[in-house]
Amino acid sequence: MTVVYGPVPSWRLGRSLGVDPLGGRVKRCTFDCVYCQLGPTPPGPVLRGVWVDPEALEAELVAVADIPADWVTFAGMGEPTLASNLGELLDAVRTFRSTPIAVLTNGSLMADPVVRSALRQADFVIVKVDVLDAETFGAINRPCLPCSLAEVLDGVRTFRQEYHGRMALQMMFIEANAADAELFAELARSIGPDEIQLNTPLRPSPTRPLGWEAMAKVTRAFEGLPAVQVYTAPRPTVIPLDVAETRRRRPEYQEAEERAAT
């Protein structure tokens, strides 16, 4: 398997069967986030392209037809909306599975109506928003293409208005932004997602995660909102199809959880 991986035990999506529309060999992303589990984004131009043929995805889907999953999740080695044939790949999944489809995105390309059109084919779109101003956008998300935070947020809001599926905001909290939890809650109210996912980098990361008490304080700022939190959400037990392929895209939680507890 080179495109399909997992299933992984997701605290957000249960048994999640991953699809990597970016080819699965090198990280391809529009951001170089300080906490990224995949390491630094390689230098060079950031362009949309085709790395996975729908026929190749279909062949792998046939091979895993009997694997149970709660969601088929487009994620992988970077930003999935960089795949210019994302819509075709979503169609391929629909042809071979009745499992609902989720897409994880950092929202950086949502200003593009072509990208929004492809994303509307998913059942659940999870958009990462974890900065509030241009300074932290540059310091935490470290964009690799010319875009402003205002453009990104405008694209997210436009997508929310157009989209009839389920949408979540994922907010990654680290020491640099945890004090602004109440402002993030205000931002979430202004966008109106179906769910808010409060996260901290528990997988091996260059950035230390927040501990239980710090995340509990963050969570209290979202009282009255549809928020879920990484430390308290359950994770199912699953057996991946290929452990090595899964770990390349989804490093294990254990090491970082131990760091957060110390």
Query: Domain residues for 212?
Result: 4-261
The predicted model scores a pTM of 0.90
In sequence order, the 6+-apart residues with CB closer than 8 A to the CB of 220 are none
Question: What's the Cα-to-Cα distance from 168 to each of 18, 63, 122, rounded to whole Å?
Answer: 18, 30, 12
Looking at the structure of the chain, the number of domains it has is: 1
Rounded CA-CA distance 41/26 in Å is 9
Residue pair 188/169 in contact by the 8 Å Cβ criterion: yes
| C-alpha 49: how far from chain center | 19
Bridge partners of 28, per DSSP, are 78
Q: Which residues of the chain have pLDDT under 70?
A: 1, 238-262
Q: What is the pLDDT of residues 214-224, one digit of tens each?
A: 999 999 999 99
Supply the pLDDT for residue 32: 97
Q: Among the residues of 75-163, which ranges form H helices?
A: 86-96, 113-119, 134-136, 149-162
Q: What is the pLDDT of residues 106-163, one digit of tens each?
A: 999 999 999 999 999 999 999 999 999 999 999 999 999 999 999 999 999 999 999 9
Percent helix / strand / coil, the chain, rounded to 5: 35, 20, 45
Query: Domain holding 179: CATH number?
Result: 3.20.20.70
